[in-house]
Structure 1
Amino acid sequence: MVKNAGTKQISEIANALIDPVLAKRAGINTMLLGMWDEVVGPDYVDCTRPEAIKWPRRSGPDEQFVPGVLTIACEGARALFLAHETDQLIQRLNAVFGFPAVDRVKIVQKPVSAQPRRAARVRPMAPEQQGRLDRMLEQIEDDRLRQALDRLGKAVMTQPDAPRR
């Protein structure tokens, strides 16, 4: 993609706005969040997320840099397995940063996965549509299948762009 000198991608603008907030509040940046799946690996990407990196305060400009502590949220019992792999995790994380930014990992157990979405409300059906759906399902003998098909039929037939036949 060829960019003009005056144009910027939306991601560049968003990162410029988000990174200072993340850095101030959690010591992390969008690069770490974007590469988290590579840092933590496929076994833990679905049950972890980086929470914060805390670096010790320096008393003066001459004081040597001290690596920080990465806090990771992890779900349930998988935290125990993750704890056994912290050395590899620290190596991969420091490789991403390009310097020894972290030397310890703190794991906190808490929910990480997105909360299940509530089912969308089904709009009320017109009586003629309900009758048509009932006639279509009357030959289904299995109650659970009929109920599932009834829910599906209502969801499809009450969509704003669903064809009205």
Structure 2
Amino acid sequence: MPAPEAPRHNAPRGIAALLAPVLRPALRRRGSVLGTLIADWGDIAGPEISSCSHPVKFAAGTLTIGCAGPDALALQHLAPTLIGKINLALGGAPVQRLRFTDMIIPATTRPLRPRHKASAPPAGLPDGPLGDALARLHHGVTRQRFNRPE
């Protein structure tokens, strides 16, 4: 005599229960891409790009980046380089295209550096207008060197 068949339940089931076995492997491979990009965006894109943009969405090989309108144009020119940096950081080639969306990026606050104290001009400068010009040049160069962004 054949073994009895398990009773079938014909009750409706949620679509999540049906799709979970199919989607779980795909999401395991691609789901962490956006999280990694958001967490490491400053290191991946560099300080100039990360200060004016932010990754928003990743789907089907397209990374959506939020940025202001004028920055989007500049980033479009850097797209091949940026895609290369992103794929190098993530391993493999999950990102094939970039898409830009208009978004206001909050300005990051940089820690204030102490003001540079004016140093005395070097000794041995000639008197007169040439000496004054060289002293102003020395002051500008030392101030610029101290205030250079890191």
Band the TM-score falls in, shorter-chain normalisation: 0.3 to 0.5
- TM normalised by structure 2 equals 0.48
Report which of the two has the higher share of helix. Answer: 2
- TM normalised by structure 1 equals 0.43
